[in-house]
């Protein structure tokens, strides 16, 4: 794929986001993941990690409808979205987890989505390790708060630590796949872990399926 084509593709999703009222081109990544894997359903309670500027929360809000709930968390403030609640905080900190618990109350969490990225240092090994560390924090939250049969999506950077992280996800979900949505840049090392059907009991997960980039 030529650089010209890649730039044109990026511009396509950027223009589409502007036209359709999404806050970022990343909104199309979640839309494409949803179209393929159906991770979010009407009425769901969705936790959105790394939510700024709000593109994924917008898409989730459209899917869940009026009876669902989206709680978005980010280090940066997010402009309000009708029907969504936003928290400024660090998900690796206990106080942020407590804030999330306050917002969801007695509701069961159906889906956790994470588009978190570390601050890019330029050192690929370090950036990869930091992306896995963030994903592990999201997975730990999922293990504590996700309801039985719930779903989990998180972004990671590809690298040597990915297999170990997938094995951790496999221990708690029946289906674990890797997927690169068409809206992702082909030159990017990002890939999404799609984990479906959370089981609170130990074991019973299927073998990790091969990377699905179709």
Q: What is the mean pLDDT of each successive set of 10 residues along the chain, which is 214 residues long?
A: 50 55 79 97 97 95 95 96 95 96 93 95 95 97 96 97 98 97 84 95 44 49
Tokens in use for 84?
């969504």
pLDDT on residue 4 = 43
Helices (H), the chain: 3-20, 27-37, 55-64, 94-104, 124-145, 162-170
Tokens in use for 35?
């179209």
User: Which residue in the list 9, 18, 143, 155 is annotated as catalytic?
Assistant: 155
CA–CA separation, 77 and 59 (whole Å): 18
Q: Which residue, among 195, 99, 201, has the nearest Cα to 148 in the 3D structure? A: 201
Full-prediction pTM beyond 0.75?
yes
CATH code for the domain defined by 3-198: 3.40.50.150
155 is annotated as an active-site residue: yes
Give 1's DSSP letter: -
Tokens in use for 73?
């968390």
CA–CA separation, 116 and 73 (whole Å): 10
Give 139's DSSP letter: H
Percentages helix, strand, coil for the chain, rounded to the nearest 5? 40, 25, 40
Tokens in use for 164?
């170990």
pLDDT on residue 131 = 97
pLDDT on residue 207 = 38
């Amino acid at each position: 794929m030529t650089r010209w084509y890649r730039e044109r593709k990026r511009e396509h999703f950027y223009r589409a986001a502007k036209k359709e009222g999404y806050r970022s081109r990343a909104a199309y990544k979640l839309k494409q993941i949803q179209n393929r894997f159906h991770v979010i359903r009407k009425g769901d309670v969705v936790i959105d990690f790394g939510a700024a500027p709000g593109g994924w929360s917008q898409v989730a809000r459209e899917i869940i409808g009026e009876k669902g709930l989206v709680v978005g968390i980010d280090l940066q403030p997010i402009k309000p979205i009708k029907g969504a609640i936003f928290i400024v905080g660090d998900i690796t900190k206990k106080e942020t987890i407590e804030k999330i618990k306050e917002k969801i109350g007695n509701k069961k969490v159906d889906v956790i989505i994470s588009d978190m990225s570390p601050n890019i240092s330029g050192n690929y090994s370090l950036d990869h390790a930091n992306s896995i560390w963030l994903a592990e924090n999201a997975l730990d939250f999922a293990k504590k708060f996700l309801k039985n049969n719930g779903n989990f999506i998180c972004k990671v950077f590809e690298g040597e630590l990915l297999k170990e992280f997938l094995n951790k996800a496999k221990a708690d979900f029946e289906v674990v796949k890797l997927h690169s949505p068409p809206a992702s840049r082909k030159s990017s090392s990002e890939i999404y872990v799609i984990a479906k059907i959370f089981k609170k009991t130990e074991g019973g997960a299927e073998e990790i399926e091969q990377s699905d980039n179709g």
